Amino acid sequence: MSAVGYEIQTEGAVALAAATAKTIIGVKAHANSGVQLKSFEIGFDGVTASAVPVLIELVYITFATNSPGTSSTTTTPRQAYGRVLTVGFTSGKNWTAEPTVVTPIKEFLLTPNAGAVLYQFPFGQEPDTALGEGLGFRLTAPAVVNVRATMQLERI
């Protein structure tokens, strides 16, 4: 089956405030398509070896409020492979007011001391969205640190 793949990035560092949950990157499908998350990368620039880990949540978002570009900075999706098609979704980073409704679907801890994770979902187990809804990453850091992230997606 042919697929069309895209990549979105934070396009620079996103600052996390201490003990404050922040959606750092997200994607919202258009009304006539969904998206499927194939893999992601998240990395921190912290330098303190004793720093407490950051809570990372992969979240499902209905975007009842604050879609990408509203209370966030719009990012530019880049096509990675497949037939050239209209993107079919919008993306953003660095929400200043959290989107709603947000449901965590996966969570883990990662050290902010230059910690990095690259994860590819097993075939057939990739999270996807309903039409017009989306996915994102919400992080809560115990101390101030910067983060960068990338999401690799397919339009479905």
Question: Is the predicted pLDDT of residue 1 greater than 60, yes or no?
Answer: no
In a domain, 154, yes or no: no
| Strands ordered across the beta sheet of 100-110 | 73-75, 89-93, 22-29, 134-140, 54-65, 100-110
What digits encode the pLDDT tens for the residues 70-109? 999 999 999 999 999 889 899 999 999 999 999 999 999 9
pLDDT grade for 3, boundaries at 50, 70 and 90: confident
Reported pTM = 0.96
What confidence score (pLDDT) does residue 20 get? 97
Task: Please list, residue by residue across 14-33, b when 16 or more beta carbons sit within 10 angstroms of its beta carbon and e when fewer do.
Answer: bebeeeebbbbbbbbbeeeb
Read off the pLDDT of each residue in 42-48 and give the average, rounded to a whole number. 95
- What integer best gives the mean pLDDT of the chain? 96
What confidence score (pLDDT) does residue 85 get? 86
The boundaries of the domain holding residue 26 are 5-148
Question: Is the predicted pLDDT of residue 10 greater than 90, yes or no?
Answer: yes
What confidence score (pLDDT) does residue 138 get? 98
In a domain, 49, yes or no: yes
What confidence score (pLDDT) does residue 136 get? 98
CATH code for the domain of 54: 2.60.120
Please give the residue that has the higher pLDDT: either 51 or 1.
Answer: 51
Question: Is the predicted pLDDT of residue 2 greater than 80, yes or no?
Answer: no
Read off the pLDDT of each residue in 49-64 and give the average, rounded to a whole number. 96
In a domain, 85, yes or no: yes
In a domain, 155, yes or no: no
Say how many domains are in the chain: 1
Report d(CA 53, CA 115) in Å as an integer: 9
What confidence score (pLDDT) does residue 86 get? 86
Give the Cβ contact number of residue 143 at 10 Å.
14
In a domain, 156, yes or no: no
